[in-house]
């Protein structure tokens, strides 16, 4: 991997566990100092990830914030610059999922999904972009999409719609940030062995009368060309590329990392 002699700093949201944790640890291995973010409920996990990064010889600090709140995101960016130095990279990874039939969705279900998954991405992209533009250094913005940003899953309709919005937001930001030497890309994981997919598996199982673990197993067998469920590190490898100088000529893309479910 290409490394930059100057200090490299990344914020990774939702990095207390799952894909976010794998990304934070991978970027630390790549030579980044990392601001580890999650919500208050995941405070202990955030502190553990911060300690792991420090044990790798990189600087790190925890910042608890809800990405759906623009003021909290702005504070996080300011704190990261104060603690770690100029910001190079924002990985807007935080997101939520919910399994529910379309006709059962409430206004609040839709509202919360978009507050976290869409407004949250916007808040992270815009706050980081303003900081990077102010520095005049150029940088990278990354957002968490999903395979459902290309083809929705039944019973994950509003989650799917939110991830389509991430793709659109990413493309729009890529166009407007290009003059500032900021690339903007998204990554689209497939079926990953994380707490989020455990929840999806359990809820889909309840609706279809399947035991815990059966739905994810069936999806893996039926849908994934490579025949195995993804692990968070699979996604972190692609994010590593999108954060590195190797991807300097890539912008406005949503890169699918799913073992061969969606072909673009």
Active site residues: 159
What H or E segment, with its residue span, contains residue 206? Answer: helix 195-208
Produce one character per residue of 33-64: b if its CB has 16 or more CB atoms within 10 Å, e if not: bbbbbbbeebeebbbbbbebbeeeebbbbbbb
Q: Strands, DSSP E only, in 59-136? A: 60-64, 89-92
Per-position DSSP letters for 82-100, written without gaps between them:
HHH-S--EEEE-------B
Q: 140, 34, 117, 41: which is closest to 79 by C-alpha?
A: 34
Phi–psi pair at 57, nearest 5 degrees: 90, 10
Residues 6+ apart with CB under 8 A from 240: 1, 26, 27, 30
State how far the Cα of 117 lies from the Cα of 58, in Å rounded to an integer: 29
Distance CA 206, CA 239 (A): 33
Q: Of 20, 73, 67, 71, nearest to 48 (Cα)?
A: 20
- Helices 107-114 and 157-177 sit at what angle, rounded to 10 degrees? 30
Strands laid side by side in the 60-64 sheet = 60-64, 32-38, 8-12, 89-92, 139-144, 182-189, 254-257
Q: Judging by DSSP bridges, how do beta strands 32-38 and 139-144 pair with one another?
A: unpaired
């Amino acid at each position: 991997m290409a490394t930059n002699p100057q200090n490299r700093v990344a914020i990774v949201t939702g990095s207390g566990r799952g894909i976010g944790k794998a990304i934070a640890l991978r970027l630390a291995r790549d030579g980044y100092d990392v601001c580890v973010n999650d919500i208050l409920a995941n405070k202990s996990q955030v502190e553990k990830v911060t300690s792991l990064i420090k044990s790798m010889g990189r600087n790190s600090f925890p910042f608890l914030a809800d990405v759906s709140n623009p003021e909290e995101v702005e504070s996080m960016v300011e704190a990261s610059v104060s603690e770690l130095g100029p910001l190079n990279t924002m990985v807007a990874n935080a997101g939520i999922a919910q399994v529910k039939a379309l006709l059962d969705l409430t206004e609040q279900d839709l509202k919360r999904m978009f507050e976290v998954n869409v407004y949250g991405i916007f808040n992270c992209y815009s706050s980081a972009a303003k900081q990077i533009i102010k520095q005049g250094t150029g940088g990278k913005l990354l957002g968490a999409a999903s395979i459902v940003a290309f083809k929705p899953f039944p019973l994950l309709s509003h989650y799917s719609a939110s991830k389509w919005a991430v793709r659109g937001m990413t493309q729009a930001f890529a166009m407007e940030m290009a003059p500032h030497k900021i690339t903007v890309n998204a990554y689209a994981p497939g079926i990953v062995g994380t707490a989020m997919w455990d929840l999806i598996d359990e809820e889909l199982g309840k609706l279809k009368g399947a035991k815990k673990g059966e739905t994810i197993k069936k999806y893996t067998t039926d849908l994934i060309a490579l025949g195995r469920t993804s692990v968070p590190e699979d996604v972190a490898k692609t994010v590593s590329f999108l954060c590195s100088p190797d991807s300097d000529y890539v912008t406005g893309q949503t890169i699918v990392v799913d073992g061969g479910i969606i072909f673009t």
